[in-house]
């Protein structure tokens, strides 16, 4: 398997297949990162633009073996620009760019309570279940990628994820 640096070098020379492999390898992570930064429904567009900008960049040599650090910076700034643009549009349309404080604060409190419950429930899971859920839902890896990392089959990972989610739901008291 080629490293990101090798693929990036080939893509910089016009190798479309190398670029496609890079995008396939990091697209899901980039979209999830864009969502976490606040891109919402624009996450896929932000991620795509980050890949294209990276390909067009003047720096044709990757200094580290991971594109994610470079992508994260670009995604972060793109999302900031997107949010600023949305705020300006709201002001022009006569709305307020500042959300209703009472609703915003109650939502923050509710999310914090829910996050605390999830963290406590995750701590009560077995370490293997907890790690699988983190790989899938925090790091954004697909089951096939988790299988590659752990040396297990894709089917085994999918079954283990199903059991881990069920255990988490039980810990949260959401289902039997």
114-168 residue pLDDT tens: 777 888 888 898 999 988 988 888 777 889 999 998 999 999 999 999 999 999 8
- For residue 57, is it left (φ>0), alpha (ψ between -120 and 50) or beta? beta
**Residues belonging to the chain:** 176
Give the domain ranges of the chain: 1-97, 99-176
27 band by pLDDT with thresholds 50, 70 and 90: very high
For the domain bounded by 99-176, which CATH number is listed? 1.10.10.10
Q: Mean pLDDT throughout 4-24?
A: 87
**Same fold yes or no, 1-97 and 99-176:** no
The confidence score (pLDDT) of residue 52 equals 87
Average pLDDT score, the chain: 81
Looking at per-residue pLDDT, the higher value among 41 and 92 belongs to 41
Of residues 109, 93, 90, the one with CA closest to residue 101: 109
Architecture of the domain spanning 1-97: Orthogonal Bundle (1.10)
CB burial of 46-75 (b: ≥16 within 10 Å; e: otherwise) equals bbebbbeebeeeeeeebeeeebeebbbebb
pTM of the model: 0.52
The confidence score (pLDDT) of residue 162 equals 95
Looking at the predicted structure, is the pLDDT value of residue 58 above 90?
A: no
The confidence score (pLDDT) of residue 101 equals 45
Looking at the predicted structure, is the pLDDT value of residue 95 above 70?
A: no
The confidence score (pLDDT) of residue 61 equals 64
Looking at per-residue pLDDT, the higher value among 87 and 126 belongs to 126
CB burial of 82-108 (b: ≥16 within 10 Å; e: otherwise) equals bbeeeeeeeeeeeeeeeeeeeeeeeee
The confidence score (pLDDT) of residue 96 equals 52
Q: CA 47, 137, 63, 76 torsion: positive or negative?
A: positive
Q: Mean pLDDT throughout 76-99?
A: 71
The confidence score (pLDDT) of residue 102 equals 46
Q: Mean pLDDT throughout 50-68?
A: 72
The confidence score (pLDDT) of residue 110 equals 76
């Amino acid at each position: 398997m080629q490293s990101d640096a090798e693929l990036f070098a080939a893509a910089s020379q016009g190798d479309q297949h190398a670029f496609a492999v890079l995008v396939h390898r990091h697209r899901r992570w980039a979209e999830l990162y864009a969502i976490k930064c606040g891109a919402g429904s624009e996450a896929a567009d932000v991620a795509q633009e980050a890949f294209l900008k990276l390909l067009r960049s003047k720096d044709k040599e990757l200094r580290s073996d991971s594109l994610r650090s470079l992508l994260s910076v670009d995604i972060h700034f793109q999302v900031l620009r997107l949010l600023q643009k949305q705020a300006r549009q709201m002001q022009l349309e006569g709305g307020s760019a500042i959300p209703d404080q009472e609703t915003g604060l109650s939502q923050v409190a509710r999310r914090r309570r829910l996050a605390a419950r999830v963290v406590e429930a995750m701590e009560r899971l077995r370490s293997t279940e907890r790690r699988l859920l983190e790989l899938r839902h925090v790091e954004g890896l697909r089951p096939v990628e988790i299988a590659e990392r752990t040396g297990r089959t894709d089917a085994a990972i999918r079954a283990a994820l199903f059991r881990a989610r069920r255990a988490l739901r039980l810990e949260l008291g959401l289902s039997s």
